[in-house]
Amino acid sequence: MNNFYPVNDYGPLMPGLVMAGVAIVHVFLAQFAVGGGLLLCYFQWLAMTGRSETARIFVNGYFRILVLISFVLGALTGVGIWFTSIQVSAPTIGQMVFNFHWVWATEWTFFCLEVVAGYCFYRYHTQLSDRTNLTLLILYAFAAWMSLFWINGILSWQLTPGDWLASRSLIDGFLNPGFWPSLLFRTIVCMTLASLIGCIVVNVIPSLDRTQRQELINRAAHLMIPMLAMPVLGVWYLLTMPDDSRGWVLGGSPAMMLFFMISVGASLAIGSYALIGLWMQKLYINGATATLLLFMAFGATAGGEFVREGSRKPYTIRHVMYSNGIRPDEVADLRIRGCVTDDPYPVVHEKDLPNDTVTVGAKVFRKQCAVCHTIDGSNAVVHLTASWDEDQMRMNIAKLQQTKPFMPPFAGTAQELESLVQYILWVESGRPSSWAQGMNPETVSQISRWLDEAGTEPAEARSIR
Ligand code: HEC
């Protein structure tokens, strides 16, 4: 496969992080859109069965507008994800589309239904009967949840492809080991988000008095009761994770563990606040508290998504594709053929580079490292290698998967590796206008020996410290 899709250069931002940023905003909005649908159904039902007259004020108030905004923004950021992912890792998204195009088409169909039902409710609900409104809302909530259902299969497959690896069957891939825990977990997150945003909205509807507010807040908080199941689902999810990924989360990678702790801590705080309040029968969440809790929920979502994305390393699709878009079974071949031999694209500012060696190095960097690193911005290779001498650098890059087991093995020739080292050294030296071009044959053969020692296999679970 000679198709090259160069990773975009976002300056000091590392592409993987740009991807994560867009994804987190999207997930947050989309999950609120799902939960908002459920909350509206519940309140519509409360209103039409005479259980709560105040609920009607809520259903007809700002909340439905928020839900509308959230699914419009959710759709826009969804498109943003496509734009970003083709710039960050076209091979990954390509592989996902290739395997799951029917699932994706189904998801989009539900999304259309969601948009139509949601808009009809928003536009016509004052002219429709209670029953029709409830039907529309149920349709909206169902379609929104179904779009989560379908996309969840594709996303969880990336980390836990399970039996699909051997069978390549769509069903095995879709209903992979992570499917159910992650679907149920996300559903609860959706409900929690809607409940918290509901509490904020209740606090800003001017026509409500304190008792009405209290009543609506108590009702909205019912959607947080399923949070009780979160610990069990969380453990279930962790158990379906591959050993090495779980290892990162539970201490192997300090950053990942930190985010995991943030996520767990914030969820615990929200859950205990709501449940203790409900338990004591006098839950009242004022606007400021609800907003604070919502921020915590955003933190928990962000932390959770970061962990989910991060713990896949070195893969974007486990055992199928490394984060840099190279497939494990290509590595041995690329060691001989070279990874940028056929790369037709110039690198950014190519004319400022001093010679061909450095240019090849910059291309190798773009191909193999740029998803997770920048050269001298965030997670910069120049900084990470600063304390190493040249030979240490050569050896540690040649044995990349042993240097840090969440990096893929180096997938290029010894000359390419030396070019990469020259590129790093050149940037480290302040990008001088002239730079030595030649390579010492002895250096190149030493690199070859290191590459052979490292082998072409990724590091597996056993090498976690
Ligand atoms: C899957 C993502 C990923 C890819 C691809 C990747 N790295 Fe890394 N690399 C990381 C992460 C994460 C760290 C840990 C950073 C830290 O400790 O702050 C790291 C650490 C490093 C370090 C420091 C190691 C140490 O022991 O301190 C170096 C050097 C490095 N990478 C170089 C590279 C080079 C060169 C490439 C391309 C050939 C590359 N990486 C490809 C994710 C990646």
Q: Are residues 346 and 445 in the same domain?
A: yes
* Secondary structure (3-state) at 439: coil
Cβ of residue 373 lying under 6 Å from some atom of ligand 1: yes
pLDDT, position 465: 36
Give, for 315, the enclosing helix (H) or strand (E). Answer: strand 315-317
Among protein residues, the one with the nearest Cα to ligand 1's atom 30 is 381
Q: For residue 75, give the DSSP letter.
A: H
Q: Is position 132 within any domain?
A: yes
| Ligand 1 center–CA 445 separation, angstroms | 23
Joined tokens for residue 19: 């991807």
Q: What is Dmax (Cα atoms) for the chain?
A: 86
Examine the domain organization and report whether 280 and 381 are in the same domain.
no
- Both 317 and 340 in one domain: the answer is no
Give residue 31's pLDDT: 93
Q: Is residue 7 part of a domain?
A: no
Q: Last residue of a domain, which of 268, 287, 322?
A: 322
Decide if 250 is inside a domain: yes
| Mutate-to-test residue for ligand 1 from 259, 339, 372, 388, highest number of ligand atoms within 8 A of CB | 372
Please report the sign of the dihedral spanned by the C-alpha atoms of residue 415, residue 416, residue 421, residue 427. Answer: positive
Ligand 1 in reach of 451 Cβ (< 6 A): no
C-beta separation of 123 from 93 below 8 A: no
Three-state DSSP class for 79? helix
**Of 322, 352, 374, which marks where a domain is finished?**
322
Residues in the chain: 465
Q: Check residue 247 and give its pLDDT.
A: 87
Q: Residue holding tokens 């299969």?
A: 153
Question: Quick one: which atom of ligand 1 is closest to the CA of 385?
Answer: 29
Residue 343 shares a structural domain with residue 307: no
**Cα 44 from Cα 385, distance rounded (Å):** 60
Ligand 1 touching residue 384 (CB < 6 A): yes
Rounded distance from Cα 223 to ligand 1 centre (Å):
42
Please give the pLDDT value at position 463: 42
What's the rounded Cα separation, in Å, for the pair 80 and 19?
Answer: 9
Q: Say if ligand 1 is within 6 A of residue 402 CB.
A: no
Is the distance from CB of 244 to CB of 405 less than 8 angstroms? yes
In a domain, 439, yes or no: yes
Domain boundaries, position 379? 336-463
Same domain, 368 and 455: yes
Tell me the sheet residues that pair with 315: 322
Does residue 220 lie in a domain region? yes
pLDDT of residue 392: 97
Q: Which amino acid is at 400?
A: L
Q: How far apart are CA 260 and CA 250, in angstroms?
A: 8
Residue 327 covered by a domain = no
Give yes or no: residues 241 and 118 share one domain.
yes
Neighbours of 122 (CB within 10 A): 14
221 and 341 inside one domain: no
Q: Which of 294, 322, 350 is the last residue of a domain?
A: 322
Nearest alpha-carbon partner for 32 in 204, 198, 239, 268: 198
Which CATH number covers residue 283? 1.20.1630
Tokens read off for 385? 């290698």
| 270 and 354 housed in the same domain | no
Q: Tell whether 8 is covered by a domain.
A: no
Whether 368 contacts 410, CB under 8 Å: yes
287 and 148 co-located in one domain: yes
Is the distance from the beta carbon of residue 324 to the nearest atom of ligand 1 less than 6 Å?
Answer: yes
* Other beta carbons less than 10 A from residue 366's beta carbon: 22
Judgement on whether residues 267 and 163 belong to the same structural domain of the protein: yes
Ordered per-residue pLDDT tens for the chain, 465 residues: 457 899 999 999 999 889 999 999 999 999 999 999 999 999 999 999 999 989 999 998 877 788 888 888 988 999 999 999 999 999 999 999 999 999 999 999 999 999 999 999 999 999 999 999 999 999 999 999 999 999 999 999 999 999 999 999 999 999 999 999 999 999 999 999 999 999 999 988 888 998 999 899 999 999 999 999 999 999 999 999 988 889 888 888 888 899 999 999 999 999 988 888 777 767 778 888 889 999 999 999 999 988 888 888 899 999 999 999 999 999 999 999 999 998 999 998 899 999 999 999 999 999 999 999 999 999 999 999 999 999 999 999 999 999 999 899 999 999 999 999 999 999 999 999 999 988 999 999 999 999 999 999 998 744 443
Count of domains for the chain: 2
* Burial of 339 per CB tally in 10 Å (0-12, 13-18, 19+): buried
The pLDDT of residue 422 is 97
φ and ψ at 13, to 5 degrees?
Answer: -85, 135
Any idea what DSSP says for residue 250?
I
Please give the helix or strand (H or E) that residue 62 lies within, else none.
helix 62-124
227 shares a domain with 361? no
As a whole number of Å, the CA-based R_g of the chain is 26
Residue from 245, 248, 318, 384 to probe ligand 1 pocket by mutation (most atoms less than 8 Å from CB): 384
Q: How far apart are CA 104 and CA 313, in angstroms?
A: 24
263 and 410, same domain (yes or no): no
Report the predicted TM-score, pTM, of the whole model to 2 decimal places: 0.91
- Token output for 192: 């929690």
| Residue 409 resides in a domain | yes
Nearest CA to ligand 1 atom 26: 403
